[in-house]
A and B are shown apart, each in its own frame.
Chain A
Amino acid sequence: MIDSARGRPHLDTLMPEIYEELRRLARKAMSSEGAGSTLQTTALVHEAYLRLANIRNLDVGSRPQFFSLAARMMRRILVDHARARRSAKRGGGAQRVTLSEEIAGQSSSFDLVALDQALDRLAARDEKLVRIVELRFIAGLSVEETAEIVEVSPTTIKRESALARAWLFRELMDGGADAV
């Protein structure tokens, strides 16, 4: 399910390392976070790049591919967490989802697991849109940064983001994901 890193296979081998590095950086960041803080994915991805580029001696040309992979790994980290949380819930008997989860802006059909599944379905139609979503909205990169990495104009990023968002929203509203 991870898109092939055409042309630069060596970065693929870095994937587990990117994942671990992001997690490590996240843990480190979190333990010093104040109350009510959210995950600064943008900072994490940049920091991971700086560290790994340094350690692995990556060339400048690999930067776009690195960020694409890092954004995907960020998605993985969040999804893994969401799944763990879900299964913890299910383990506790037939407990129903509560509105207190919705307070965080989601109900179960509107969570990251459902989004992840919708993204997989979108990838079957248009992989580029998924990359844009990962970079822009999960890794939190700017329109310009995303445009540079995907190698299209900022206008295209804006247009395609709109389509991807509408498509995903519709999928989630239709309950396409397995509702709890």
Chain B
Amino acid sequence: MAERTPSDRWQELKELFEEAVETPAGQRERVLARAARLDGSLAGELKSLLDAHDREGRFLEDIVASEGRDLVAMTRDGAFVGRRVGSYELVRQIGTGGMGTVFLARRTDSEYESQVAVKLIRPGVLSEEALRRFRAERQALANLNHAGIAKLLDGGTTVDGLPFLVMEYVEGDPIDAWCDSRGLPVEERLALFRSVCGAVEHAHRHMVIHRDLKPANILVTASGEVKLLDFGIAKLLPGAEWAEPAGLTQTAQRVMTPDYASPEQILGQRVAASSDVYSLGVLLYRLLAGRPPYHFGSDRASEIERVVCEQEPPRPSAVADPALRRRLRGDLDDVVLQALRKEPERRYGSVEQFSNDIRRHLEGLPVRARPGTLAYRAGKFLRRHHIGVAAAAVVLLALLSGLAATIWQARIARAERARAEERFDDVRRLATSFLFEFHDAVQDLPGSTPARKLVVQRALQYLDRLAKEAGDDTSLKRDLASAYQRIGDVQGNPNNANLGDSASALKSYRKALSIAEPLVLDNPSDAQARRTVGVIYEKMGDVLAWSGSIGAGVSAARRSLGFFEALAREAPQDVAKQRSLAISHIKVGDVSGNPSFPNDGNPSEALEHYRVSSAILEDLSKRDPADPRTRRFLGIVHERLGTVLNELGETSQALEAYRRSFAIREALVADQPNNTDARRDAAIASEKIGDVLKVMGDPKGALEGYSKALAGFESLAAADPENANASRSLSIIQMKMGEGLAGAGRPDEALALYKKALAIREKLSASDPASLQARRDLLDSLAGLARFTASTHPAESRDYEARARAVEKSLPKG
């Protein structure tokens, strides 16, 4: 075939495109296939053009029309200079904003020279709405009288019907430029920022939200006075006597600077005073760190939405000038980030609180802001007083219950409502997250059980009270259901550190269900609530199975699976949901018939579920082969497959599955050498390979598997010598390896390993004398050594035997 020129290729593309466009959507594949036969890259280009064709909408018309509109508007505005508006003469244009053009103007009917700013509503895109907004603005602004807010002097309509506002003319620099050009130290920036807060507070008290706080609207005069400009998209707080014009909320979000816009503004949701708190947070970030919190990859709305609504901003101290980092680290980082929380209810409750926290910082008092206010206070307390954990927990909880007592009373008083709600939020945080953080932090400390029990008991009390108050607050109910579920986990879920109280755990899970299930009934499309219900059933399944109710455990696990199946079906592209489904299948498989778990004795059903799970995970792995979580669960599901296949007598298939599991985990370790979980998992898989090969009559192969496992467990134990589990795993593989070596006619090496295992078990038993398992392990090692040395070293053997007897005596009978 002759070489095609670029223009031949373009011609081909053109023809294929035209054909594909005229082909019914379902049959385009045929055209694409033909393109692919011609030239692979041609098919790719055709595909991207067809996608663009389907998505383009009216972009071309929009671009041309909007530029045209802008041209019309600019030409008009320019024509206004020199004209009179009311009793003002427009001198020059000084700025344009979302809704109009601002002119410097002077009064013509006055003997004294006075300069004002006249804002003309641009005859723009949103004329009708702008008009409504304008009226609201005039009314709202007229109510504001604060030195930090540019005054509204007058307002009216030009002879040709254009609305205008006359405002105090402010000569100054945007606050960020003002601070930077003077090299202002942190303290002075904070003080200046607090005076901005003062002006915004004043507006909030008059039911006016600024909605567009940004340096361009916050000027500082030469004398250092702050002036807020342009309540251009101010909206009246609900409760004010004039109703909010309909339609204002929907569109106002777009007249924003993305840098300073809150997530709720970006999403076009209801905006409250908390949105100004957010914008002020961005401003403070900018003033302290020298740059805004976010960087947008592009100006596309989807990118802006992603960044503002999902990305966590770096701490200001992490990006500031190195000289300032220490100054910002800690309190100021926390204060700024508290204002920047994505969820309005997690920010400061008011501008006043925000400002007060800065004052506290300036006065050297502890700030309120902190990821988990209470954890912070407790942390400071614990650091100051080196008292025992249990005692600390008691003290802490006493403090908290005092706080809680005032909350319920405070909630009654209307005047105290805002403060009460803030405290209500404290309790909510306390019960739904902080107590768990506290629990998790102390659970590994020896002797923490009484403290943990107390924490759980107290958390339950709070939750029960919150549940009574929940009313129809859906998000609170979801939080409550999750919190009850976590309480249940802590009380008795064998899959995490727990207090061994499965009856209470089940009770908590049932409470969780009683809250979450009605949410699903009320709103079947509430995916979050459905997920919560699915998780609760899954956890119930764990506890039921481990506490001996296998049948109930299996049916709970199946119910859970039903929820995850539906969620995954609705979102086939959602990786997290697909993965949850795969995990749910593993769970059902475990209780159905995996001999490593309490199970229903049905390994072939387990096999089915594991196979479905592995198919889902393989599919996810095709989409993103590098995703470590997908790889982790693939490793798990293949190990599970190996176990049930082995149980079903399919040894060679089991071996295959274990090998696959090992390969996945080994690759994961290669990519993440510091991932100890992956290293442990890989070692376990090779141990299993050894076990199967041993059963299959391949001692050499078994030895090979064990020796890989041995190397893995050795390095894990060396890396974390305090970790009893790692040491125990090492001793087990040493025993297995020893047995293999003895069988292979290498008794000296075998003996050395047996002795190593014994040393580990002696140490483990000594460090945890109450542990029966440690003693049983020790007994096992001693008895094994006694047998192994009987013929070669009889004296040693007798010694081992005597020690074994002593250990055996200390064990309970049976």
List the one stretch of A50-58, A59-67, A94-102 in contact with chain B: A94-102
Q: Tell me which residues across on chain A come within 8 A of B79, comparing CB atoms.
A: 31
For A82, give the chain B residue with the smallest CB separation. Answer: B67
Whether the pair A167, B52 counts as a contact (CB closer than 8 A) is yes
Q: Is B304 an interface residue (CB 8 A)?
A: yes
User: Is B56 a contact partner of A165 (Cβ separation < 8 A)?
Assistant: yes
Is B243 on the interface with A (CB-CB < 8 A)?
no
**Can you name the residue of chain B whose Cβ is closest to the Cβ of A79?**
B67
In the complex, whether B48 has a CB less than 8 A from a CB of chain A is yes
Q: Contacts A35-B127, A163-B17 known; A107 to B49 CB distance under 8 Å?
A: no
> Of A41, A85, A102, A111, which contacts B68 at CB under 8 A?
A41
Stretch among B70-78, B270-278, B364-372, B726-734 lining the A interface? B70-78
Contact-residue size bin, chain B (C-beta under 8 Å from the other chain): 35 or more
Is A104's CB under 8 angstroms from B71's CB? no
Closest to B68 in A: A39
Instruction: Beyond A163-B17, A170-B52, list 7 extra A-B contacts (CB 8 Å).
Output: A31-B75, A39-B69, A39-B72, A78-B64, A96-B259, A99-B261, A109-B299
From B64, B70, B216, B300, contact of A137 by CB (8 A):
B64
Whether B67 and A78, one on each chain, are in contact in the complex, defined by CB atoms closer than 8 angstroms, is: yes
Closest 3 CB pairs of A and B: A39-B68, A35-B123, A104-B66
Taking a contact as CB atoms under 8 Å apart, the answer to whether B53 and A106 are in contact is no
- Which residue of chain A lies nearest to B18 when distances are taken between CB atoms in the complex? A159
Measured CB to CB, the closest approach of chain B to A144, in angstroms, equals 18
Contact A165 to B60, CB < 8 A, known contacts A78-B68, A104-B70, A180-B299: yes
Whole-angstrom distance between the Cβ of A122 and the nearest chain B Cβ: 11
B residues 228-260 with Cβ under 8 Å of A? 251, 253-259
CB of A30 within 8 A of CB of B71, answer yes
B71 lies within 8 A of A78 (CB): yes
Question: Is A31 touching B76 in the complex (CB atoms < 8 A)?
Answer: yes
Q: For residues 1 through 26 of chain B, which have their beta carbon under 8 Å from a beta carbon of chain A?
A: 6-7, 10, 14, 17-18, 21
Q: Smallest CB–CB gap between B7 and chain A, Å?
A: 8
Q: How many residue pairs between the two chains, A and B, have CB atoms under 8 Å in the bound complex? A: 169
Contact of A38 with B254 in the complex, beta carbons under 8 Å: no
List the A residue with the shortest CB-CB distance to B122.
Answer: A35
Instruction: Determine the distance from Cα of A112 to Cα of B68 in the docked complex, in whole angstroms.
Output: 10
Please report the C-alpha to C-alpha distance between residue A91 and residue B73 in the assembled complex, in whole angstroms: 20
- B17: A residues at CB distance < 8 A: 162-163, 166
Q: Is the CB of A109 within 8 A of B298?
A: yes
Residue in chain A with minimal CB distance to B176: A93
Instruction: Report the minimal beta-carbon distance from B158 to chain A, rounded to whole angstroms.
Output: 11
- A39-B17 Cα distance, complex, nearest whole Å: 33
Please tell me which stretch of A5-13, A145-153, A171-179 contacts chain B, meaning at least 4 of its Cβ atoms lie within 8 angstroms of it. Answer: A171-179
CA distance A39 to B76 in the complex (A): 12
B734 nearest CB across to chain A (Å): 59
Q: Taking beta carbons and an 8 Å cutoff, which residues of A are in contact with B?
A: 26-27, 30-31, 33-39, 41, 77-78, 81-82, 85, 93, 95-100, 102-112, 115, 125-126, 133, 137-138, 140, 159, 162-163, 165-170, 172-173, 175, 179-180
A104 and B66 CA atoms in complex are apart in Å by 5
* Listed A/B pairs (14) with beta-carbon separation below 8 Å: A26-B75, A27-B75, A33-B76, A35-B123, A35-B127, A39-B68, A82-B67, A99-B256, A100-B254, A103-B98, A109-B299, A137-B61, A163-B14, A170-B52
Chain B residues near A78: list those with CB within 8 A: 64, 67-68, 71
User: Quick one: which of A98, A108, A179 has the most chain B CB within 10 A?
Assistant: A98
Q: Is the CB of B256 within 8 A of A98?
A: yes
Which one of A102, A137, A166, A172 lies within 8 Å of B254 (CB-CB)?
A102
Q: Whole-angstrom distance between the alpha carbons of A163 and B15 in the complex?
A: 10
For A133, the chain B residues whose CB sits under 8 A away are: 60
Cβ–Cβ contact B69 & A169, under 8 A: no
Residues of chain B within 8 A (CB-CB) of A167 are: 49, 52
B254 pairs with A168, CB closer than 8 A = no
Expressed in whole angstroms, the Cα–Cα distance for A93 and B17 within the complex equals 45
Whether A105 touches B56, Cβ cut-off 8 Å, given contacts A81-B67, A96-B257, A166-B49, is: no
Contact B66 A106 (CB under 8 A): yes
Contact assessment for B255 and A99 in the assembled complex, using a CB-CB cutoff below 8 Å: yes
Task: Report which B residues bind A (CB closer than 8 A).
Answer: 6-7, 10, 14, 17-18, 21, 48-53, 55-56, 59-72, 74-76, 79, 97-98, 123-128, 161-162, 177, 216, 251, 253-259, 261, 298-301, 304
How far does the alpha carbon of A85 sit from the alpha carbon of B72 in the complex, in Å?
Answer: 13
Q: Give the shortest distance, in Å, between B116 (CB) and chain A (any CB).
A: 22
Name the A residues within 8 Å of B124 (CB-CB).
Answer: 35-36, 104
* Interface residue from A99, A100, A159, A169 paired with B304 (Cβ < 8 Å): A99
Complex-state Cα separation, A134 to B124, whole angstroms: 25
Cα of A141 to Cα of B72 in the assembled complex, Å: 20
* Chain A residues within 8 Å of B216, by CB: 95
Contact of A30 among B72, B251, B304 (CB under 8 A): B72
* B72 A105 Cβ-Cβ under 8 A: no
A112 to B61, CA, bound (A): 11
Contact B53 A165 (CB under 8 A): yes
Q: With A and B bound together, what is the CA distance between A137 and B64 in angstroms?
A: 8
B49, B64, B70, B259 pick with most chain A CB within 10 angstroms:
B64
Q: Which of B69, B79, B97, B161 counts the most chain A CB atoms within 10 A?
A: B69
Whether the Cβ atoms of A179 and B76 lie closer than 8 Å is: no
Q: How far is the CB of B802 from chain A (nearest CB, A)?
A: 80
Q: Return A173 CB to nearest CB of chain B, in Å.
A: 7
Pick from B10, B21, B256, B299: contact of A107, CB below 8 A: B299
* Shortest Cβ distance from B22 into A: residue: A159
Contact of B66 among A77, A105, A159, A168 (CB under 8 A): A105
Min CB gap A84→B, angstroms: 9
